[in-house]
Structure 1
Amino acid sequence: MTLTRRGLAALPALALAGGHAQAQGTWPDRPLRVIVAFPGGSTPDLAARAVAPHFQQAFGQPVVVDNRAGGGGHIGTEAIARATDGHTLGVTIGGPGSTAKILNPALGYDPATDLVPISLLARLPFVLVVHPSVPARTAAEFVAYARANPGRISYASTGPGTLSHLAMEDLAATQGFQAVHVPYRAVGQAVLDLVAGRIQAFFAATGGVLAQVREGTVRALAVTSAERFPAIPEVPTMRESGVDSEPAVAWIGLFAPTGMPADRVARVAAEAGRALAVPEQRRALETAGFTVVGSDPDTFRALLASDIQRWGAIIRRLELRPES
C-alpha cells in the first residue's frame, strides 16, 4: 500500500493515539486472579466460586481462583493486600479482614489500610447454645444464671480474638457476669465437648450445630442476627430472648488491594451482586447456612468500620494476642 504525504504525516499522531489507547486500556485486559484465604471446599471458597464464572463472562477474561490457606486466613489475606498487578481480587472473612492488626500488631498487613472493600458476599449469625444441664431456656435466663454463678460457666470459642470468643466477652461485659474461656482449634471438637458437658456454652456458627440443636443434645437459646435464622426459625433473636445486644454475624467479603480505582471497585461489586442473584450460585452458600448478600462497597465499608470499632475495643480491653 502506498502512503501519501498526508498519510505519512499522520503516522506519529496515530502511533501516539494508539499508544494512549493501549495505556488507558479496558480493564481487565488480562486474566483476573481471585485469592481465597482458605482451602478448597471451605465456605469462602464456595463464595469465590459462586462469583468467578460470572466475572469471566462479564469481563471477558479468564478468572483463576487461587487458594492460599493457612494462618487462620492471614496468609491468604496478606497475599491479597500485597498484590500489585492490578488484576487481583480476594475473598476472606471477618477476623483477617477487619481486626487482624489489632489482635496481632506484628502482622505484615493492616486490613483497614491495605484492603479495599468491594462487596459483602454473605453473612452468618451465631447461635448461643448451652448444655441441657444449664437451667436456662432463654438468653435472659442464661445471663441471670451466669450472674448468680460467677466463674461456673465455661464457654468455648474457636480461638482467642475470634468472633465466637468476642461475642461472649461482649455479652459478659454488657450484662455483668464472668465466665471461663476455653479456646478450641476446631468447631467440631468444641461441639463434642459441649454435648459431653465438659463446657456449658458456646456462641457457635449456626451451620456447625444445627444437627445437635435438632437432636436436642444442645439447647439453642438465641441467634445473634437482627432477624431469626431461616434454618432454625423457632429460635428467637437475642433481643426476643430478653437480652438487648447488638447483632454479631460472621461474614465473607470480596476485597481488592489498596489502589484499585473507585470505578473498578463499583463495577466489580455490581457484577458480584448479579452473580449472587442467580439461584444456582446462591444455593451452595445457603446450603452451608449463609445468608447471601452481594452488597455495594459503601455498605460493606460501614460493616468493617463497625466491626473494627466494636471488636477492636474488646481485643484491647482484654489485651488479647493470637496465642493468648
Structure 2
Amino acid sequence: MKARRQALLAAGAWGLASALPMAARAQGNWPNKAIRFVVPFAPGGSSEIVARSAAVELSKLLGQSVYVDNKPGGAGNVAMQEVARADDLHTLILGHIGTLAVNPFIFDKLPYDVNRDFKPVSLLAKVPSLYLVNNNVPARNLKEFVALAKARPGQLNYGSAGNGSAGHLAFEYLKMATGTFITHVPYRGTGPQLTDLMAGRIDAAAVGAPAVIQFIKAGKLRCIATGTAQRIPQLPDVPTVAEQGFAGFEMTQWYGVQAPTNLPAPALELLASACAKAITAPAAMDHLSKEAAIAVGSTPAEYARFIAQEQQRWKPVLARAKVRPDN
C-alpha cells in the first residue's frame, strides 16, 4: 500500500483519474467530509461557472461532496478573510486576479495577506478580455484605434464596471502598453456600461468574453482585439493585441483554488492533482468553452509563480492609473 501511495503521488496532476478516491483515503483520511468551495462574488458570471464546473468533477475524484458557497462583499475581501481563518481543513476559496493581484495594491490595509495566509493549489481557468468599440468609432482594429487616440488625446473615453474592476485594469494596461490617453468612465456594473457602449454614449471598453460574445456576433459591438496570447475559437478573425504590434501583451481574467495555510502538504498535493484533472475533464471543458473560458490546470508551484508574476505586472499599472477601491 505504501509503494502504491508513493506511485500515485509521483504521477502528479496528470495521472490520477479513477485512483484519486483511493488516494484520498490514503492521505491521512483527507478529505473525510464535504468540502466547502467559497466564491467571493455574487452568483452568476464566470466565477461561478468555473467554480461549479470544477466542483462537480472534484466531487467524483475526491469521493466527497464539493459544494460552492457564494459569499460576496468588499471586493472579495470578506470571503478571503473568512477562509484565511478557517481551521477545518475542508474550506477552499476561488482565487481571482482581483483578490490576489489587485486588492493588495489598492487597499491601504487588508485583514489577510494573500501570500502568507493562503496556499496556491491550482490555476483553473482564464477568461479572455475583449477590447471593444461602438459601431460609430472610426476604427476597425487596434492599430487604427491607437492612432485615433493619439490624434485626439483625452477625447476618447472607455467604460468599466467600476474602479478596480477587471475591465478598468484591462484598459489601463492597454493604455500603458500603447502610450495613449483615454478617459475612464466608471459604471456600477457591466450591464449599464454595455448599454451605454452599444448606444454610443461611450467609445470603448474591455469586457470579459462571456458577457459580450453574443453582441459581437450580432453586430452590435465591434471587437478590435483580444487580450489573449492566441486568438480565441469563438472569434477566429479577431487578432490579439500582441499580433497588432504590442508583443508580449496578455490580459485575461483568471481563476484558481487557494487553501488556508494549515492544509497539510500531502492533502495539498492530492487536491492540486485532482483540480488539474477536474478542470480538464470533458464535461468541465464543455461548460467552459461555452463561456469562451480556457481550462488550465497546474501544480501548486506553477500557480504560485503565476500569481507572483501577475502581482508584479499589475503593481505598476495600478500605481500609474491611481486605482482606488469604490467607497
Please, what TM-score do these two structures have when normalized by structure 1? Answer: 0.86
2:35 aligned to 32, 35, 56, which one? 32
Q: Secondary structure at the match of 1:240?
A: helix
Question: Which one of the candidate residues 190, 205, 208 is aligned to 2:208?
Answer: 205
After superposition, residues 107-126 of structure 1 pair within 5 angstroms as 107-126=110-129
Residue from 71, 74, 79 that aligns with 1:76: 79
CA separation of 1:179/1:92 partners in 2, compared to 1, >3 Å: closer, same or farther?
A: same
Whether the 8 Å contact between 1:158 and 1:185 is mirrored in structure 2 is yes
Unaligned runs of 5+ in 2: 1-26
CA distance in 2, matches of 1:68, 1:147: 42
Structure 2 residue aligned with 1:167: 170
Residue of 148, 152, 156 corresponding to 1:153: 156
- Within the candidate set 299, 314, 317, 2:317 is matched to 314
Q: Looking at both structures, which has the greater relative contact order when contacts are Cα pairs under 8 Å and sequence separation is at least 6?
A: 2
Distance 1:244 1:53 in 2: 38
Matched, 1:143 2:146: yes
Q: Which residue of 2 aligns with 1:3?
A: none
Match runs of 1:1-324 below 5 Å: 25-323=28-326
CA shift, 1:177, in A, is: 1.8
In the alignment, the residues of structure 2 paired with residue 137 and residue 298 of structure 1 have an alpha-carbon distance, to the nearest angstrom, of 41
SS in 2 for 1:143: helix
Q: Percent identity?
A: 36
Q: Distance in 1 between matches of 2:70 and 2:119?
A: 19
- Supply the distance in 2 between the matched residues of 1:244 and 1:57 (Cα, whole angstroms): 41
Give aligned pairs, total: 301
Maintained 8 Å contact 1:101/1:109: no
Name which one, 1 or 2, has greater alpha-carbon Rg. Answer: 1
Could you tell which deviates more after superposition, 162-171 or 38-47? Answer: 38-47
Could you tell me whether the CA contact under 8 Å between 1:121 and 1:252 is conserved in 2? yes
Answer whether contact 2:209 2:291 (CA < 8 A) is retained: no
Aligned CA distance change for structure 1 residues 125 and 43 (closer, same or farther; 3 Å): closer
TM-score when normalising by structure 2: 0.85
1:226–1:247 contact (8 Å) kept in structure 2: yes
Would the aligned equivalents of 1:100 and 1:110 in 2 still touch at CA under 8 Å?
Answer: no
Q: Is the 8 A contact 1:119 1:253 kept in 2?
A: yes
* In 1: Cα distance, 2:172 partner to 2:68 partner: 36
Query: What is the deviation of 1:245?
Result: 4.9
Q: Quick one: which amino acid aligns to residue 103 of structure 1?
A: I
Letter matched to residue 265 of structure 1: L
- Residue 104 of structure 1 contacts residue 322 of structure 1 at CA under 8 Å; is this kept in 2? yes
Range that drifts further, 272-281 or 39-48: 39-48
Q: Quick check: 216-225 or 27-36, which moved more?
A: 27-36
Q: Structure 1: give runs of 5+ residues left out of the alignment.
A: 1-23
Q: Distance in 1 between matches of 2:145 and 2:39?
A: 38
Residue 24 of structure 2 is matched in structure 1 by none
Distance in 2 separating the partners of 1:234 and 1:224: 14
Three-state SS of the structure 2 residue aligned to 1:152 is: coil
1:63/1:207 Cα in 2 relative to 1: closer, same or farther (>3 Å)?
Answer: closer
SS at match of 1:133: coil
Find the aligned partners of 1:211 and 1:146 in 2 and give their Cα distance: 27
